Amino acid sequence: MAASPSTPAFGPEEARRILDHLQHPAVFPDMSRDWPVLRWTAERLARRLPDKLIPFRLGNRRWRNGPLFETQCSYAEATLAQFLCWTRGGAGADMGRLSKYPRSQFWAYADYKYIATLLADQPSMFQDVRWSHFGLEGRDGRHSTLWVGSEGANTPCHLDSYGWNLVLQVEGRKRWLLFPPEDTDKLYPTRIPYEESSVFSQVDVLRPDLRRFPAFRGAAVHTVTLQPGQVLFVPRHWWHYVESVDPVTVSVNSWMELESDDVARVGEALTKTIVCALKSARSDDNTDDWLNPTEEGASPHSDNMQLVSLAVAACAARRGRRPGRGVKRDSDGHVRKRRGSAAAFRVPYGPHLLPVPRREEQEQEESRAEEEQEEPAGSRGSAEELSSGRTTVSTNDLLDCLLHPEVISRVTQLLLERHAPTHRPPDPTDPPY
């Protein structure tokens, strides 16, 4: 029976089963049509939060020296009304501190704002977000984050260490470029700048420098422009770059935990310990802004080691429990097949569930061939270094190797085998940390 205009295409149980079996990014175009959160335009939020100062990240549109990380951005507090005035080219006094940043040169992004904090004095609004329609009982705005940006505002390409992600587009459109976990080496992962649970790519995926990052040529990019009312599913460990394409965009998302996050927390504790130890050491090359503004500061080594111990202990304690409702997945995020199980569940792709398509190889090659014609400004000159025979290994170079996801995954397993007796032997189908 077809769904009516006011009824979601999938019921909560079926939607949750689909999420458990999806192996690639997908869009639910009509699951949120009766959600009150769709009225959360920037205009309405500005009226509900008239005096609330919100930190905005300002990015220079002319930046061409690789990915524009948060450490390379400016920051200013403003109300949403001032932000809207700024996007429309209003008068200086009405734009507050944003008036210092010409709209022709900068974009603005209020990203990753916890709704529970932002709307703490208006808790009734939490219920406007209805993730329960996806079978995620009890999950609403209290467990979500808000993103408000101007045209061009973006998040550099990265993967999230924990869980999987649901994103609802409320106002405007956002373009997503997504890459599968198996392409991690082609994305040249780095933990500098350091942010807990975020692994960044060194590649500017829109303007890749193929001289420095030749393997990126073979990366499989999946693209989608998310429209208002659509919900995007981002599987575990899928890389993603996100950019606002309309004058004002608003989106809401929520991350869902997985059992494998217990192991991932050990890997993240190890990463923090190694990063802080090496980047806090005095060195001529340790003068960069290596700590993301989202982090409170570099914690002492003793605190970081205590965090490692707590993560290992917690992982060992939970390993003895029976598996939860979630299905088991292999290192690619695919559902494991159980012996004697019924026929495999078939994801019901169609008008109510759209796979995010992979960009055609020819289109990728033509685009990158054009980009390769001119080397981006600010290149590190690796070709010159190779031709001269000079090799200088920096602390960041060393960290890129030590903290590669595959290395951290192996060290995590060794640590758990040694210090967590209840930890089961490593399974080759286990996901990396």
Q: How far apart are CA 255 and CA 144, in angstroms?
A: 8
In this prediction, residue 25 carries a pLDDT of: 98
Architecture of domain 12-257: Sandwich (2.60)
Which pTM does this prediction carry?
0.89
Distances (CA, A) of 125 to 46, 142, 243, 245: 14, 9, 26, 27
Burial 110-145 (b: 16+ CB within 10 A, else e): bbebebeebbeeeeebbebbbbebbbbeebbbbbbb
Tallying the residues shown for the chain, one arrives at: 433
Per-residue pLDDT of 395-414, as tens digits, reads: 999 999 999 999 999 999 99
Domain spans of the chain, in order of start: 12-257, 261-336+387-419
Kindly tell me the sign of the dihedral angle through the C-alpha atoms of 330, 408, 71, 185: negative
In this prediction, residue 228 carries a pLDDT of: 98
Strand order, beta sheet including 198-201: 189-195, 198-201, 154-160, 239-244, 174-179, 222-226
Q: How far apart are CA 78 and CA 90, in angstroms?
A: 14
Instruction: Name the residue among 107, 74, 101, 88 with its Cα closest to residue 46.
Output: 88
Per-residue pLDDT of 145-176, as tens digits, reads: 999 999 999 999 999 999 999 999 999 999 99
In this prediction, residue 379 carries a pLDDT of: 44
Per-residue pLDDT of 21-57, as tens digits, reads: 999 999 999 999 999 999 999 999 999 999 999 999 9
Residue 428 predicted with pLDDT over 70: no
Of 61-70, 101-110, 375-384, the one with minimum mean pLDDT is 375-384
Q: How far apart are CA 230 and CA 153, in angstroms?
A: 19
